[in-house]
Amino acid sequence: MINEITQYPLGIFTTVQPILFLWVVAISFFITISFVALVSKDRTWQWLCVIGVLFFICTLVISLIVSSAFVGISVMDFEFIWVQPSS
């Protein structure tokens, strides 16, 4: 029988700037509602919700990267480590 060594990745947030992070969330929210207004023509509210959520996630990620670059402070950092469970 083969003795398998199972390892799994674990993501750990090493740095979080709560105010900066919330700021990016707030601005992404406003950009999202503007975008949804722009693409709202002939779309049902269900479609608009899906578009809104997807656009919000994309904007949030891009905004985090851009604002980190602008401000020079890492808004949010996380690292992966490999964990081997004890048998």
Partner 1 sequence: MTQVPAQKIGVGIVISFYGVMAAVGYFFSWIFDINPLVLRESSNSLWFRMLIGGGFGIGVVLVSALFTHKFYWAKRLSETLRNTLGRRNFVEIFFFALASGLGEEILFRGTLQQLLTMVLFDGVAANIFGVVVAAVIFGVLHTGPERAVFFPWTIFAIVVGALLGLLYWWTGDLVAPVTAHFTINFFNLHLICNRDAID
Q: What residues make contact with partner 1 under the rule CB under 8 A?
A: 19-20, 22-23, 26-27, 30-31, 33-34, 37-38, 40-42, 67, 70-71
Q: Which of 13, 29, 22, 3 is nearest to 77 (CA)?
A: 13
Compute the distance between CA of residue 39 and CA of residue 50 in angstroms, rounded to an integer: 12
For the bound state, the minimum distance from the C-beta of residue 13 to partner 1, rounded and expressed in Å, comes to 20
In the complex, minimum distance from the CB of residue 49 to partner 1, in angstroms, rounded to a whole number = 16
CB of 14 to partner 1, least distance (A): 21
β-bridge mates for residue 9, sequence order: 82
